[in-house]
Amino acid sequence: MNKGFSFSEFSKQSPKGLLIIYLAEIYKVLKLFWIFLFILFKDFSKFTSYGIIYIYLGVFVLLSFLFIRSYLIYLNFQFKVFNDHFILKKGILKKTNIEIPFQRIQNINFKQNIVQQLIGVFEVNIETAGSNDTEIAIKALSLEKATALKKIVSTAKFTDLNLKKEKELEPILTISPFALLKVSLTENHLQNLLLFLAVLFGFFNQIQQVSESLGQSEVLGGLITDSTSNLSTNLVLLFIVLVLLTLIALLSSFVKVFLLHFNLTAYLKKDAFEINQGLFTKKTIVLKKEKIQTITFSTNPLKRAIGISFVTFKQAVSGKTKKKKKERPIRLVGCKQEQLEVIKNTVYSNLDVLEKQKVYPNSYYAKRLFIYAGLFLLVVYSLLYFIFNHIEIAYSLVLVLPITILLILKKIKKRFYKISDSMIVVGKGVLETHLIFLNLFKVQHIQLKQSIFQKKSKVATIILQTASGKINLPCISYLEAIQLYNHTLYKVETSKKSWM
């Protein structure tokens, strides 16, 4: 299968990778300067013949410069495998050498965007933990070379790492487009709507800058003012806008789910899950069992009504992650109960924790939530009164207070933990319900915190730090906190299992 690829000598990407790098460089320029291009083409007819020649010449020089830069990036990007290390050289003027031991490599994933699909190459992402440089992307490799590299570097002993599945291997999860539609209906539509409005606001902000540069800011401002005035005085138009916003929220949820999870298929291998998904950008992720830090099972009333849940896998991330690179958990959507059981039984050898009794926070937790909510509402309504100077604003508390109380009660009810000899399950949520599963030996740091007020109420907060983030157990009985603290420390110190 690997056709003799050993990678003992430095290798370059496929020559087709030059096109991928070149297009990426052009995209960066367009992303930065699209507003100037908009102005340029808007007044293109006003330029003289000499001006047009200079424009064409400038575009040619820019594209030539980007091509030379892309070629140098391609030429200097070389990698090899030596002594159980992945070694990478890259850079044009500033040379960078990266050496990663195999045991620190967390995943090697395949990815294809539209261009890569058309020219028949794969992007290979090498993800690591415990480093600032947490990902290496090889933009263009043939399937054979990518698979060979994955087979050599990966510590998982798969017999076949080809993207084509063995006939006898049945997927544990397959999501059809109709199933994705049902999944999208259970999404957080408000969040997607706010994201859409943020993009729209950013676009109008750019248009406003263009109009100011062209001396048309008053016309645009007058148009917005008139439209806002008409909207506020026309109830029918306001109703239509609300309906449109609702449709946009639903449509944006579906588009987001469809693009990310199209053709979602999950396979269960000997010691790993293999997940394929994506429409324009196809991804193949091999998720090894020992690399998983926590698994979160999520549901809400709509999901329960149609019998599905979401599963989120979290792996180790660096403690000093770059701001641009955020933690990217792996999610399986539209899972049914039998599929959840397969995942649980595959990752965890003992699930007796589910039979344990739930431990809820002390009543101090509820008091704290109600006090914080009361103070927040007091500040908000005080500001609203000083801004609008209408006492009638307080009438909305008739609706706001019951909703706030209901949400707090739901948050209290869903906050609990169960603990066994080797595992802990943490429940949390407000509208959604989340169950977090964690093996105690994967805890890297445990902290017991107690404020002055907590000390008076004889409660404490436990913080479990894992390689994928923190898990909080707020305001539990101090005696229970001490027992949990000592038990977790004991399991961590005596366990000989690897946390990743």
pLDDT tens digits for range 84-132? 888 888 888 888 888 888 777 777 778 888 888 888 888 888 877 655 4
Residue 183 has pLDDT above 80, yes or no: yes
Q: What integer pLDDT is reported at residue 324 of this predicted model?
A: 42
Q: Give the long-range contacts of residues 444-452, CB within 8 A, separation 24 or more.
A: 444/492, 444/499, 446/485, 446/488, 446/489, 446/492, 448/481, 448/482, 448/485, 450/478
pLDDT at residue 240 in the model:
76
What pLDDT score does 257 carry?
85
Give residue 441's pLDDT band: very low, low, confident or very high (50, 70, 90). very high
What's the CA gap between 137 and 446, in Å, rounded?
Answer: 34
Is pLDDT larger for residue 20 or for residue 389? 20
Q: Which CATH class is domain 408-494?
A: mainly beta
Other Cβ atoms less than 10 A from the Cβ of 450: the count is 16
Computed over every residue of the chain, the mean pLDDT equals 80
Residue whose tokens read 């992007």: 123
How many other CB atoms are there within 10 angstroms of residue 3's CB atom? 9
pLDDT at 458: 93
How sure is the predictor about 172, in pLDDT bands with cuts at 50, 70 and 90?
A: confident
228, pLDDT greater than 60: no
With beta carbons less than 8 A apart as the criterion, state whether 422 and 490 touch. no
Element (H, E) at 122: strand 122-128
Across 125-139, 176-190, 442-456, the highest mean pLDDT is recorded for 442-456
The pLDDT value recorded for residue 211 is: 54
Q: Which segment, 152-161, 231-240, 334-343, is predicted with the most confidence on average?
A: 334-343
What is the three-state SS of 401-447?
HHHHHHHHHHHHHHCEEEECCCEEEEEECCCCEEEEEEEHHHCCEEE
Q: Give pLDDT, residue 96.
A: 85
Q: Which pLDDT tens digit goes with each residue over 251-273?
A: 877 888 888 888 898 888 777 78
173 neighbors 335 (Cβ within 8 angstroms):
yes
> 408-494: same fold as 17-168?
yes
Q: Is the dihedral of CA 154, 127, 346, 463 positive or negative?
A: positive
pLDDT score of 297 more than 90: yes
Rounded distance between C-alpha atoms, residue 236 and residue 35, angstroms: 36
- Confidence band for 378, pLDDT divided at 50, 70 and 90: very high
Q: Would the pLDDT of 230 be above 70?
A: no
Instruction: Give 3's contacts (C-beta < 8 A, 6+ positions apart).
Output: 144, 148
Question: Is residue 259 within 8 Å of 280, Cβ to Cβ?
Answer: yes
Q: How many CA atoms lie within 13 A of 8 on its CB side?
A: 3
8 Å CB contact between 406 and 370:
no
The domain segmentation of the chain, as residue ranges, is 17-168, 184-260, 408-494
188-197, 238-247, 279-288: range with highest mean pLDDT:
279-288
Q: Angle 235-261/189-213 helices, nearest 10 degrees?
A: 110
pLDDT at 198: 65
CB under 8 Å to 27, separation ≥6 — which residues? none
What would the two tokens of residue 20 be?
Answer: 């991928």
**Which position has the token pair 């509820």?**
366
The reported pLDDT for the residue numbered 473 is 95
pLDDT attached to residue 159: 37
The fold of 17-168 is PH-domain like (2.30.29)
pLDDT band at 160 (very low <50, low <70, confident <90, very high): very low
The packing angle between helices 189-213 and 17-42, to 10°, is 50
> Cα-atom radius of gyration of the chain, to the nearest Å?
28
Give pLDDT tens digits for 206-225.
555 555 555 544 544 554 55
Question: Among 219-233, 365-379, 393-407, whose mean pLDDT is lowest?
Answer: 219-233
pLDDT for 376 equals 94
- Residue 394: per-residue pLDDT: 83
- Nearest CA to 163 out of 314, 265, 51, 315 is that of 265
Share of the chain above pLDDT 70, in %: 78
How far apart, in whole angstroms, are the C-alpha atoms of residue 467 and residue 292?
A: 10
> What average pLDDT score do residues 336-342 get?
90
Give the whole-angstrom CA distance, residue 284 versus residue 334. Answer: 18
pLDDT-wise least confident of 12-21, 199-208, 261-270, 431-440:
199-208
> Is the overall model pTM greater than 0.75, yes or no?
no
What's the mean pLDDT in 273-299? 86
| pLDDT of 4 | 59
Find which of 87-91, 299-303, 461-465 is predicted with most confidence, using mean pLDDT. 461-465
The residue among 72, 88, 137, 178 whose CA lies nearest residue 281 is 137
Q: What is the pLDDT of residue 166?
A: 45
Q: For residue 286, which amino acid is it?
A: V
Residue 34, pLDDT > 90, answer: no
Two structure tokens written together for 133 = 């440089």
Mean pLDDT value across residues 460-476: 92
Among 278, 312, 309, 296, which Cα is nearest to 186's? Answer: 309
Residue 199 — very low, low, confident or very high, per pLDDT cuts 50/70/90?
Answer: low
Separation CA 132–CA 321 (nearest Å): 5
Count the Cβ atoms, other than its own, within 10 Å of residue 106: 21
- pLDDT above 90 (res 460): yes
